[in-house]
Structure 1
Amino acid sequence: MFKILVIEDDKTLFQELQDRLSNWSYDVCGIADFSNVLAEFTNAKPDLVIIDIQLPKYDGFHWCRMIRNHSNVPIIFLSSRDHPTDMVMSMQLGADDFVQKPFHFDVLLAKIQAILRRTYNYNAEASALKTWCGALIDFERNTISKEETEIELTKNECFILKQLIEHKDKIVTRDSLIRALWEDERFVSDNTLTVNVNRLRKKLESIGLGHMIETKVGQGYIAKEEEPAT
């Protein structure tokens, strides 16, 4: 049974989510002290976190940042705010998805199921280690390392990188990446993919590989093969 931590101060909404998700055999827990969310997260050890942006004491962005400093657990944001910068900020902080209120429960459930499948089945099926451009990718730990530097990737970033390097020097279309990541294009914006790829490329820059993922405007992305030695 997967455990889901719902960080939501609207008691009515929390109770509805707890009741409906429990009907799908999820173990759902909430927050008692919104000034101490990180400690409750640590004690709960959830498999997935659902978090609202507007919370007492500190907002959801703050707690997402704090959680990401300690864990790569999947995070879904819920928000009644509809400004595009909220989604961009969520993704930049390491969230896996963003759902705007009011939402249809079936949409949220589909996102939860897809993320859990991707997160907890993907590692079991993937080869544990792979080399690319002189770097070592560990799909089990979601890291990429080169020489003395090791970079942590989110599960989305690691999954995107895997898709790209499995088709090195070939264009992987945006549509195919969206389908692979979220399984249903209707439930994700094109901008979400852009944010994830840009975040991945920025991390790769720190080990000198940012330029090895090339954008093909209007088509998709290419992970280039290792550059010839000079």
Structure 2
Amino acid sequence: MDKIMIVEDDPKIHTLLKEHIEKYGYEAVIATDFDNITAEFLEIAPDLVLLDVNLPKFDGFYWCRQIRQQSTCPILFISARDGKMEQVMALEHGADDYITKPFDYEIVMAKIASHIRRAYGSYAPKVTERTLNLYGLVLYPERLEVTLQEQKLELLRKESLLLEILMERYPRVVSRDRILEKLWDENHFVDENTLNVYVTRLRKKLKELDIEEAVETVRGAGYRLKITWADATS
């Protein structure tokens, strides 16, 4: 069953949306933590997001950008703002569609069904899934997952990108600048400690697969992956 996340702070609207969505056979989950929509998105793991523009604390454009760093799932804006600029901004921030209020719920459902088909169903592009395999450690970048034998772990998008570049360059050292360039387009705005945080997180994730100190810090040079056949078969 496809899961729809509703990010709308108007109780009347999100209740009616939930009723219509469930009537059509989808699962609907209403967001409640408007201070951290990204964390709630990762927990819910929806197949599509309905996102309002006017939200408490941060607007929908902000949350759209944050979700896009984690997922390529369809994002449909629902908003009372009907200006051309708002619609352009929504698309530029990563949205797939923009529906203005007041809207016809049947049209909303038709758009949801259309985007679900395009993303996952009969209209979805038929492409071979990309994987990286190193001594049995398999990274699935599109799924944000890494597996080793029977074990599987979920990764955040930045963790996946970091592991990807380290696996691609194995056993060579990858410079901090090269990693920053891959993880952030504008790396001059990134605090040096931010990369250290993701390196530490990736080490902890790989430790759950029984790979100790998988990411080695090479002083003055950068980082490299320390994966051996013994690690993969232990």
TM-score normalised by the shorter chain: which range applies? 0.5 to 0.7
Amino acid corresponding to residue 34 of structure 1 in structure 2: F
Amino acid corresponding to residue 4 of structure 1 in structure 2: I
For structure 1, the residue ranges without an aligned partner over 5 or more in a row are: 130-139, 143-205, 207-230
DSSP 3-state at the match of 2:121:
helix
Q: Aligned partners of 1:127, 1:12: CA distance in 2, in Å?
A: 41
2:97 equivalent in structure 1: 97
Corresponding pairs, count: 134
DSSP 3-state at the match of 2:98:
strand
For each residue in 1:155-195, what CA deviation from the matched residue of structure 2 results, as whole angstroms up to 9, or x when unmatched? xxxxxxxxxxxxxxxxxxxxxxxxxxxxxxxxxxxxxxxxx
Q: Aligned partners of 2:40, 2:142: CA distance in 1, in Å?
A: 24
CA drift of 1:101 comes to 0.2
Residues 141 and 8 of structure 1: CA distance in aligned 2, closer, same or farther (over 3 Å): same
Larger Rg: 2
For the pair 1:107 / 2:122, whether they are aligned, the reply is no
Q: Aligned partners of 2:142, 2:33: CA distance in 1, in Å?
A: 31
Instruction: Report if the CA contact (8 A) 2:6-2:29 is conserved.
Output: yes
Q: Aligned partners of 1:55, 1:125: CA distance in 2, in Å?
A: 33
CA drift of 1:54 comes to 0.1
CA drift of 1:34 comes to 0.5
Higher RCO structure, 1 or 2 (CA under 8 Å, sep 6+): 1
Q: Aligned partners of 2:125, 2:76: CA distance in 1, in Å?
A: 24
CA drift of 1:121 comes to 1.9
Amino acid corresponding to residue 70 of structure 2 in structure 1: H
Q: Aligned partners of 1:67, 1:57: CA distance in 2, in Å?
A: 16
1:28 equivalent in structure 2: 28
Q: Aligned partners of 1:123, 1:109: CA distance in 2, in Å?
A: 17
2:53 equivalent in structure 1: 53
Q: Which segments of structure 1 move beyond 6 Å, counting only runs of 4 or more? A: none
Cα RMSD (Å): 2.4
Identity of aligned pairs, percent? Answer: 40
2:85 equivalent in structure 1: 85
CA drift of 1:76 comes to 0.1
Q: Aligned partners of 1:87, 1:125: CA distance in 2, in Å?
A: 26
For structure 2, the residue ranges without an aligned partner over 5 or more in a row are: 130-140, 144-184, 186-234
CA drift of 1:68 comes to 0.5
Structure 2-normalised TM-score?
0.54
Amino acid corresponding to residue 101 of structure 1 in structure 2: K
